[in-house]
Amino acid sequence: MGANKITNFLRKYMMLIAMVIVIIVFAVITDGKTLYPINITSLISQNAYVFVLGTGMLLCILTGGNIDLSVGSVVCLAGGVGAIMMTKNIPWPVAVIVMLIMGLLVGLWHGFWIAYVKVPPFIATLVGMLAFRGLANIIMGGYAYDISDKGFLNVFGGGNSCYIPGSYIPDKLGVVKAALTNYRITGEFTLDAGKLQGTVDALQKTVDAGKDDVVNKIAASIDGITVEQYLANVDKQLSTLKMNLTAQLNVTCLIVGLLIAVGFVVFTVVNRKRLIKKGYKVAPLGSVIIKTVIIFAVILWTAYKLAGYKGIPTALIWIALILGLFAYITTKTTLGRNLYAVGGNEKATRLSGIDTRKVMFSAYTLMGVLSGFAGVLNIARLSGSTPTYGVGFEMDAIAACFIGGASAYGGTGSIGGVIIGAALMGIINQGMSIADTPVNYQKVVKGIVLIVAVLFDVIMQMRRKGAKKKKLKKKLKNVVSTEKGGANV
């Protein structure tokens, strides 16, 4: 039974564990660069579209492993139209609404063909992928359009100031880190600002002296390395120290992070009490506490990191809104329930009095709207639009769903899975970029990650079936032997 429990645990949290391992591996490879506040922030803004499109894709995949190939083209089309409108000085809220409506229309179009005419989704959306890309090119005339509307960029996560504003305070933790670095260099542990600054000055002097300096040459030869290497090491220490000493934190971000973390804990406790009061079965206290503590810590850590750069990126707020909304839809509404039912067994669902066509239609319509919204985020992030934007986005979204545990046959998957899938892909992308892995190798690695994720799921399922068979065999033997025994009597 113990082994079984471990397998179950692994099944449930495998991708989460994988993510933690990947984070650690990249942090080690890149000397912690991937964990710099600026990189955490850009990880979120860069991958905003994957979260949004992955959410929509999940709806389609839930209905029976159906995918939408057109999302990249729709992002480009909606984005292109929006960018053109904004360059013509049409107010950005109007442009955003038009983009969303375009997404909606595309969704209705796909939904109609797929749900009511029964065109296979793969083909219907392949048509969309080609046609909407073409349409985007026609509308944009092959030109790129720049967006300079600060209001738009700030709200949807583009440009330099797309963050929730707030005052800054010096980072005390940064000073501690600086002190630790200082201890490694000088052998003296001190939090005194003057002394730390002294070390900085000394290091700066060493670097300034250059490779022809006799002292440096001697120091290098003592360590058994070349002068260049020695200087590079010193330079690295210098920049780390400087960064930690000058680190500042965005107060708004810290407060929001703290509120969310505390709010989460309070919610968990209250909800648990309510369930117990009603006499429902609840998860064991120990595992709940561990889970809560981990999530609490992750929220605080993220908030701290974000605060260390410029605060909460506006893109994050949009992601959170979309993910929250659709997590609610998939788990708490009849539409969500029907998505899972259709994917699990369409016939049974239809015979249960549910209009399965409507369910399919809704999935693709929502996907369309979300594609339009991804278009909004995309042109904001890139401050403009070109006819090639959005190429390959559909694959990122699909991969995020499958890595996150959605079944290729439909019926299983969750928004939580999409978050993990999208984040894992983003982390791998960014990690490899920072580690200077050539782009083509990055693609190979992503491919391997996807197959490993799916393979793991397949193996686990086979194992489960195998275990069941064994159980059956045992049962069988018992039945036969008891019957034989009976006959003897």
Partner 1 sequence: MAKVLLEMKSITKTFPGVKALDNVNLQVEEGEIHALVGENGAGKSTLMNVLSGIYPFGTYEGDIVYDGEVCEFHNIKDSERKGIVIIHQELALVPYLTIGENMFLGNEQGSKWCIDWNKTYAEADKYLAMVGLTDSSKTLIKDIGTGKQQLVEIAKALAKHAKLLILDEPTSSLNETDSRALLDLMKKLQREEGLTMIIISHKLNEVSYVADKITVVRDGSTIETMDSKNQEISEARIIKGMVGREITDRFPKRHDVEIGDVMMEVDNWTVYHPEFSERKVVDDVSINVRSGEVVGIYGLMGAGRTELAMSIFGRSYGIGISGDLKLKGKKVTLKSPKKAIEAGLAYVTEDRKGNGLVLSNSILRNTTLANLAGVSRATFIDKDKEYEVAQEYVEKLRTKTPSVDQLVGNLSGGNQQKVLLAKWMFADPDVLILDEPTRGIDVGAKYEIYCIINDLAKAGKSVVMISSELPEVIGMSDRIYIMNQAKIVGEMKASEATQENIMACIVGVSAEKNYADGEGREANNGRK
- Least Cα distance to 229 among 242, 215, 216 occurs for 216
Phi, psi of 373 (to 5 degrees): -70, -40
Binders in 258-297 for partner 1, by CB under 8 A: 278, 280-281
Among 161, 233, 246, 334, binds partner 1 (CB under 8 A): 334
- Least Cα distance to 9 among 283, 406, 356 occurs for 283
The residue (of 410 and 426) whose beta carbon lies closer to partner 1 is 410
The residue (of 155 and 363) whose beta carbon lies closer to partner 1 is 363
Among 345, 383, 433, 442, binds partner 1 (CB under 8 A): 345
The residue (of 217 and 350) whose beta carbon lies closer to partner 1 is 350
Alpha-carbon distance of 75 to 136, in angstroms, equals 9
Among 30, 55, 302, 349, binds partner 1 (CB under 8 A): 349
Residue type, 66: N
421 binds partner 1 (CB under 8 A): no
Q: Of the ranges 191-199, 223-231, 405-413, 446-454, which one interacts with partner 1 (CB under 8 A)?
A: 405-413
Alpha-carbon distance of 183 to 192, in angstroms, equals 12
Phi, psi of 386 (to 5 degrees): -130, 165
Phi, psi of 31 (to 5 degrees): 55, 35
Among 97, 243, 295, 354, binds partner 1 (CB under 8 A): 354
347 binds partner 1 (CB under 8 A): yes
Among 205, 236, 291, 332, binds partner 1 (CB under 8 A): 332
244 binds partner 1 (CB under 8 A): no
Q: How far is CA 369 from the centre of its chain?
A: 20
88 binds partner 1 (CB under 8 A): no
Q: How far is CA 87 from the centre of its chain?
A: 31
- Least Cα distance to 26 among 304, 429, 419 occurs for 429
411 binds partner 1 (CB under 8 A): yes
480 binds partner 1 (CB under 8 A): yes
Q: Of the ranges 196-204, 224-232, 233-241, 343-351, which one interacts with partner 1 (CB under 8 A)?
A: 343-351
Which residues touch 414 (CB under 8 Å, ≥6 apart)?
58, 327, 330, 404, 405, 406
Alpha-carbon distance of 144 to 84, in angstroms, equals 9
353 binds partner 1 (CB under 8 A): yes
Angle of the 393-403 helix axis to the 48-62 helix axis, nearest 10:
70
Among 248, 350, 437, 454, binds partner 1 (CB under 8 A): 350
247 binds partner 1 (CB under 8 A): no
Q: Given the rule CB under 8 A, which residues bind partner 1?
A: 278, 280-281, 332-335, 337-338, 340-341, 343-345, 347-355, 407, 411-412, 472, 475-476, 479-480, 483
